[in-house]
Amino acid sequence: MDQKIEIKDLDLFYGSFQALKAVSMPVYDRQITALIGPSGCGKSTLLRCLNRMNDLISEVRITGRALLDGVNIYDRSTDVEGLRKRVGMVFQRPNPFPLPIYENVVYGLRVAGENDKKTLDQTAEKSLKAAWLWDQLKDKLHQPAISLPLDQQQRLCLARLLAVEPEVILMDEPCSSLDPIATAKVEELMLELKKDYTIVIVTHNMQQAARVSDFSGYMLLGEMIEFGETKTLFTNPSQKLTEDYITGRFG
Amino acid sequence: MEQRHFDRELLELKEKLLLMAAKVEQLIKQSVEALIKKDAALAQSLFALDKEVDKLEIDIEEDAIALIARHQPAAGDLRFLIGAIKINNDLERISDHGVNIAQSAIRLAAQPDLKPLIDIPRMAEFSIGMLKDSLDSFVNNDPDKARAVCRSDDKVDDLKDQIFRELLTYMMEKQDSIGRAMDLILVSRNLERVADLSTNISEEEIYISEAKIVKHNVQKGK
């Protein structure tokens, strides 16, 4: 299996606080990798490292490497905007722009200077279809996005991401504001999307990690305690700390 | 941290399984005792015990399924529940073999002895010993003891073959011995199955403790 991303000895400091401690792990191509662990363990911080979202926070210092297709994304020469196009992110709360549905989806293309209506229409349709929204939304593309129910908003954010054709999709607790039915839809969608995309998901919901991911990493206090196939991690973890967490005996 | 509700429920399930194991062990022991002492009444009394075992089997299965559905267990808890379901099944089968032995004991009690029983009590001692050790290995999470049980299965198989050969000579000699000899062969066959199922219980203990699948001479897992 090819490694899409390889994280090597990554340290991250918020000022004097070390949030990530020598984290190493692979992210395999077209697989779903889940990061699990208690609040504050560093899993969201690690996720944000993968498209340099932490650059936006002052006083962050990072050492170590994160290689995307073999190239360190922390090289000075990295085009951060280009990186974020290749490695997109879906957040905990759906964050559609206060624009019509259609404009939300084609936003990234417009920012990149694309104005050809046919291209934009085709992209909107393709992206909404990929996010399983086309049939429901094709007749109301010009309604405001924020009028949609939460799960459709979340999938719209995903469609907006897919429109710029990323290679990796980062998801930070993408279902935490969704009910179980909407969650199941997003999970099904993830399993569909992994045919074409590499997905990394941070989740508090261990069953979700067990259900959808191929690989899982368990983090605690900024360290990667155990990384491996989800199947193995949830039936026979090698570390007692992992076993305690996934069986609910943590603490 | 205080003991969680889930842990208490797992413990309760294990206790029920041990209660069932004690009944099954008693049933097998007494079925052999009834055979040796030609005690048809004792043999007869075991059918009620088997019914209790059947009831417990259903009870344990329902509890285990409910725990899986409600708690989505992982790792050691998951392996324990899967193992418990299988051991539950094995114990119920062992109980049925005890009933079969009791039925042979009832038939044989009404007839003169074919021969003094020597190998069958030895075989029974071995099979019951394996059952006891396999259950101990499960109770004490002792995979080494479980492995020792798996290794001793061949001995019981040898005894069964020996008993078969001997009884064959009786049957060839005297036609009227065939019914009694067949019953004794059936008893040895039932005891051999008790040993096999005890081996299964031991394999399940190894899976629960070490996540290794050891059966059919195949070992999977790390």
B1 part of contact set with chain A, CB < 8 Å: yes
What Cα–Cα distance (Å) separates residue B163 from each residue in B109, B118, B120, B122, B182?
19, 10, 7, 11, 11
Tens digit of pLDDT for each residue in A75-105?
999 999 999 999 999 998 999 999 999 999 9
Percent of chain B with pLDDT over 90: 88
- The predicted-structure confidence for B79-111, as pLDDT tens digits, reads as follows 999 999 999 999 999 999 999 999 999 999 999
Q: Which pLDDT does position A23 carry in this prediction?
A: 98
Q: Could you read off the pLDDT of A139-198 as tens digits, one per residue?
A: 999 999 999 999 899 999 999 999 999 999 999 999 988 888 889 889 999 999 999 999
pLDDT band for position B75 (50/70/90)?
Answer: very high
- Residue A251 in any domain: the answer is no
Domain with B143 in it: what CATH number? 1.20.58.220
Q: Which residue of B has its CA nearest to A239?
A: B75
pLDDT digits (tens, 9 = 90+) for B26-69: 999 999 999 999 999 999 999 999 999 999 999 999 999 999 98
Instruction: At A105, list the tokens.
Output: 């989806």
Question: How do residues B126-165 score in pLDDT, each as one tens digit?
Answer: 999 999 999 999 999 999 999 999 999 889 999 999 999 9
How do beta strands B213-215 and B218-220 pair? antiparallel
pLDDT band at A251 (very low <50, low <70, confident <90, very high): low
C-alpha B40/C-alpha A212 separation (Å) is 59
d(CA B117, CA B184): 9
pLDDT tens-place string over residues B104-122: 999 999 999 998 999 999 9
Cβ A107 vs Cβ A99: under 8 Å = yes
- Of residues A207, A246, A251, nearest to B75 (C-beta): A246
Residue A6 forms beta bridges with which residues? A26, A67
Structure tokens at A33: 């990798």
End-to-end CA distance of chain B: 31
Alpha carbon distance B85, B21 (integer Å) = 13
In whole angstroms, what separates CA B96 from the centre of its chain? 9
**Residue A29 domain boundaries:** 3-246
CA of residue A16 relative to chain centroid, distance: 27
A244 interfaces chain B, CB cutoff of 8 Å: no
Task: Name the token pair of A53.
Answer: 């979202």
Q: What are phi and psi of A143, to 5 degrees?
A: -80, 155
> At which residue do the structure tokens 């049980």 appear?
B149
CATH number, domain containing residue A238: 3.40.50.300
Q: Is residue A192 part of a domain?
A: yes
pLDDT at A4: 97
Q: CB of A206 within 8 Å of any CB in chain B?
A: yes
**B79–A236 CB contact, under 8 Å:** yes
- E strands along A117-238, which residues? 168-172, 198-202, 215-220, 223-229
A76–chain B Cβ distance below 8 A for any pair: no
User: Which residues, 6 or more positions from A77, have their beta carbon under 8 angstroms from its beta carbon?
Assistant: none
User: Coil, strand, or helix at residue B102?
Assistant: helix
Q: What is the pLDDT of residue B169?
A: 94
The pair of structure tokens assigned to A66 is: 């994160």
**Structural domains in chain A (count):** 1
Instruction: Tell whether ipTM is more than 0.85.
Output: no
Q: Measured between alpha carbons, how far is B168 from A132 in angstroms, rounded to an integer? A: 73
| Structural domain boundaries, residue B110 | 5-220
> Is the Cβ–Cβ distance between A120 and A114 less than 8 Å?
yes
Does residue A120 belong to any structural domain of this protein?
yes
Q: A246 vs chain B: nearest CA distance in angstroms?
A: 6
As a whole number of angstroms, the distance between CA B95 and CA B46 comes to 10
